[in-house]
Amino acid sequence: MTSSAPKRSLTPPAIQARKGGEPIVCLTSYTAQMAALVDPHVDLILVGDSLAMTVYGMPGTVGVTLEMMIAHGRAVTRAARRACVVVDLPFGSYEASPAQAFQSAARVMAETGCAAVKLEGGAPMAETIHFLTRRGVPVMAHVGLTPQSVNALGGYAVRGRADAEAEAIMADAAAVAEAGAFSVVVEKVIEPLARAISGRIAPPTIGIGASVGCDGQILVIDDLIGLFTAFRPKFARRYAEVAGTIEEAVRGYAADVRDRRFPGEEHVFAGE
Ligand code: KIV
């Protein structure tokens, strides 16, 4: 599962330098096993707080704790050799003040060995991003649809259709870029806005539901492989149907146990 090959991880500055170049490939992972499979193929692995839904069966990301992120972040960094590993700061661990954000980020980085943290929010988080980046914490920002604010936003609808909302999201992206974010996730905004942001800000934009006009793309791994089936986001392309494969395997095992076909001769330890 984990490899003994030396780590040659992509760094946040190396990701930042990819602006306007070959698209940056990003995916989430939450476990060492998945990270080992994902790592050779991507540039960046995000230990996203989407683990609330994919791992813990929560209805949204608001209930995630710093301890959960640290446990999964540690598992992923153990297995990743090449990709830049970024860990999400969960809701409530960074919004109160730049000092609170630094304490949380420092814990996450020291206890997981990740390269950077991600936090949600635009202009109101700019001061915090500036504070962190000046103190050795690379920050991936996240604007547009920010799921930790679902209660304030009133849901997960696409953002930027109204002119005023589009202007506010553009201002958010400009503020976090100016504050020093090394990359900016742009989630679920209309295509013209995603393209305009990508053309305007210096760091690379990483789109999720934000069109091919971004500098890179990210998806939740469980959406990509068809493991998360509670709902199917319009912006996620399914490359496999793993849930069906798992169900089929479990059905076969259950039938074999009930019919005494498992364990077979080959699984049995004979006496001397
Ligand atoms: O939590 C998450 O997985 C994210 C995404 C951008 C995919 O924030």
Instruction: Give me the phi and psi of 118, to 5 degrees please.
Output: -115, 140
Note the pLDDT tens digit of each residue in 213-257: 999 999 999 999 999 998 899 999 999 999 999 999 999 999 999
Catalytic residue among 111, 127, 187, 265: 187
Taking 90 as the threshold, does the pLDDT of residue 13 lie above it?
yes
Q: Is 58 helix (H, G, I), strand (E, B) or coil?
A: coil
| Residue written as token pair 């604007």 | 143
Distance 236 CA to ligand 1 centre (A): 12
Ligand 1: which of 26, 38, 49 to mutate, most ligand atoms within 8 Å of CB? 49
Q: Does the predicted TM-score (pTM) go above 0.85?
A: yes
Show the tokens assigned to 43: 């540039």
Q: Which are the contacts of 176, defined by CB distance < 8 A and separation ≥ 6?
A: 121, 122, 123, 125, 126, 129, 141, 143, 184
pLDDT in tens, 123-133: 999 999 999 99
Q: Report the alpha-carbon distance of residue 126 to residue 132 in Å, rounded.
A: 10
Query: What pLDDT shows up at residue 180?
Result: 98
Q: How confident is the model at residue 22 (pLDDT cuts 50, 70, 90)?
A: very high
Confidence of residue 9 (pLDDT cuts 50, 70, 90): confident
pLDDT reading at 8 higher than 90? no
Active site residue 187: yes
Instruction: Please give the domain boundaries of the chain with CATH numbers for all domains.
Output: 12-240 (3.20.20.60)
Residue-wise pLDDT tens digits, 36-90: 999 999 999 999 999 999 999 999 999 999 999 999 999 999 999 999 999 999 9
User: Cα of 269 to ligand 1 centre, how many Å?
Assistant: 46
